[in-house]
């Protein structure tokens, strides 16, 4: 089964040709291995160069830095096909949709030339370390510090819930370069830390409810020395940089949530047409058809809204509150679809051998990461 919905206004023929190659990659390289990767709690790093060779990583990177210079629609297609395959969360979206933009937008020429080609090829895996124990979404309150010592920073602190934490070769670390300045956000900077730096340690690969194959880690920084030139952009501007890139990050989450919900719906329609109860299929009960009809309607609305948001983003018109609204609505829809589809599976839905169980567990976090949905409401509410 493949992702086939109403014609998409956000994509052209070139996009769809790219989709065909991404879909073939997912079916060949990901689907057969997803169960094993869940058991291993990590996706092997050798998958990254394979994806890079197909142009699946960081397609928006300008050609002068080894990229294809394409629009975000190509990223969205990778997100959709990855989520719809039902395969493991691969970590690609973090690199392509989030991390790379910081380097493209704010990196020095030296940083761009050093890192972007390797991110495009899959030679380098990246992570961004924002969250700390006790801070959650409150980035102004981070405690990890980067203190100047000559022409170096000395970094101390810890991070948690870091996607790609076990595989990462390069980590963009949110730090306080000034702990005294007020307001506190003016002291936040982003510093590049290479994984081989002395004093950098990876903690546990955290045991999660779902998204089992996504390596999510604790990271520790014990007197890690990096050159001052590893600062991304201007010192003290990190918080501003983080806020400016949030619409795309949240749109990326919305795209993946919508495709994941569509996959759960399609699988459920197939299941209820085969499963028998009281002498007829589960699909033959009016309640089943009404539930599915309601979900189909909401999914149809979701795809239309997603295309609207993508077209806005292509033109750099998607606002912070629109990105927040997309993340809020599509992840709420994802959860509604998952929960109702699991219910239609009956007892089978609670068994991990059925895809819906794995999808239901994996969907729970999407209303938390990228800023909780409660924070999304607060952000939207501030603009009223």
Q: What is the model's pLDDT at position 241?
A: 94
Q: CATH number, domain at 100?
A: 1.10.540.10
51-92 pLDDT, tens digit per residue, is 999 999 999 999 999 999 999 999 999 999 999 986 567 899
Whether residue 230 is found in the same domain as residue 254 = no
Q: What is the pLDDT of residue 134?
A: 77
Q: With bands split at pLDDT 50, 70 and 90, how would you rate the model's confidence at 1?
A: low
Same domain, 72 and 164: no
Same domain, 255 and 303: yes
Give the end of a domain, one of 194, 213, 236: 236
Q: Which of 124, 157, 180 is where one domain is finished?
A: 124
Tens of pLDDT, residue by residue over 7-59, are 789 999 999 999 999 999 999 999 899 889 988 999 999 999 999 999 999 99
Q: Which of 249, 270, 353, 374 is catalytic?
A: 249
Residue 213 pLDDT grade (very low, low, confident, very high; cuts 50, 70, 90): confident
pLDDT of residue 136: 67
pLDDT the model gives residue 170 = 98
- Judge whether 3 lies within some domain: no
Same domain, 58 and 112: yes
In this predicted structure, the answer to whether residue 351 has a pLDDT above a threshold of 70 is yes
Assess whether 266 and 174 both reside in one domain: no
Q: What would the pLDDT profile of 283-318 be if each residue is shown by its tens digit? A: 999 999 999 999 999 999 999 999 999 999 999 999
Regarding whether 357 and 257 lie in a shared domain, the answer is yes
Q: Of 194, 209, 236, at which residue does a domain stop?
A: 236
**How many distinct structural domains can be found in the chain?**
3
Q: Are residues 178 and 196 in the same domain?
A: yes
Tell me how long the chain is: 384
Closest by Cα among 89, 91, 92, 93 to 38: 89
6 lies in some domain: no
| 336 carries an active-site annotation | no
Q: Are residues 219 and 324 in the same domain?
A: no
Angle at 126 between CA 121 and CA 127, to 5 degrees: 155
| Per-residue pLDDT at 171 exceeds 60 | yes
Global pTM reads: 0.94
Which one, of 304, 312, 310, 356, lies nearest residue 334 by Cα?
A: 356
Task: Let me know whether 87 and 197 are in one domain.
Answer: no
Kindly report the CATH number assigned to the domain that includes residue 212.
Answer: 2.40.110.10
Closest-CA residue to 50 (of 100, 92, 79): 92
Q: Tell me: do 250 and 222 sit in the same domain.
A: no
Is the same domain home to 376 and 256? yes
For residue 324, give its domain range.
245-381
């Amino acid at each position: 089964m493949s992702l086939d919905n109403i014609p998409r206004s956000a994509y052209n023929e070139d996009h769809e040709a790219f989709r065909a190659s991404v879909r073939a990659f997912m079916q060949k390289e990901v689907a057969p291995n997803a169960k094993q990767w869940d058991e291993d709690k990590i996706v092997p790093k050798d998958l990254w160069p394979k994806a890079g060779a197909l142009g699946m990583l960081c397609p928006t990177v300008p050609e002068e830095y080894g990229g294809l210079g394409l629009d975000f629609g190509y990223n969205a297609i990778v997100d959709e096909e990855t989520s719809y395959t039902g395969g493991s969360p691969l970590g690609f979206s973090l690199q392509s949709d989030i991390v790379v933009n910081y380097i493209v937008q704010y990196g020095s020429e030296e940083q761009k030339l050093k890192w972007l080609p390797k991110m495009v090829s899959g030679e380098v895996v990246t992570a961004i370390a924002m969250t700390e124990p006790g801070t959650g979404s409150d980035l102004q309150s981070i405690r990890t510090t980067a203190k100047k010592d000559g022409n170096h920073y000395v970094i101390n602190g810890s991070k948690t819930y870091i996607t790609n934490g076990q595989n990462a070769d390069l980590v963009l670390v949110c730090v306080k370069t000034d702990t005294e300045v007020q307001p506190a956000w003016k002291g936040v900077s982003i510093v590049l830390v290479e994984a081989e730096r002395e004093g950098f340690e990876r903690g546990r690969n955290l045991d999660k409810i779902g998204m089992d194959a996504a390596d999510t880690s604790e990271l520790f920084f014990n007197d890690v020395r990096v050159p001052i030139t590893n600062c991304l952009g201007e010192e003290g501007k990190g918080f501003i940089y983080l806020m400016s890139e949030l619409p795309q990050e949240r749109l990326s989450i919305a795209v993946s949530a919508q495709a994941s919900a569509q996959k759960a719906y399609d699988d459920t329609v197939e299941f209820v047409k085969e499963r028998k109860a009281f002498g007829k299929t589960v699909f033959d009960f009016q309640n089943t058809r009404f539930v599915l009809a309601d979900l189909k309607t909401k999914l149809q609305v979701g795809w239309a809204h997603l295309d609207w948001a993508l077209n806005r983003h292509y033109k750099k018109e998607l606002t912070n509150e629109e990105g927040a609204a997309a993340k809020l609505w599509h992840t709420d829809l994802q959860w509604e679809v998952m929960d109702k589809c699991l219910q239609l599976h009956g007892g089978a839905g609670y068994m991990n051998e059925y895809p819906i169980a794995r999808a239901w567990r994996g969907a729970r976090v999407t209303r938390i990461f990228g800023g909780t949905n409660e924070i999304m409401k607060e952000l939207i509410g501030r603009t009223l």
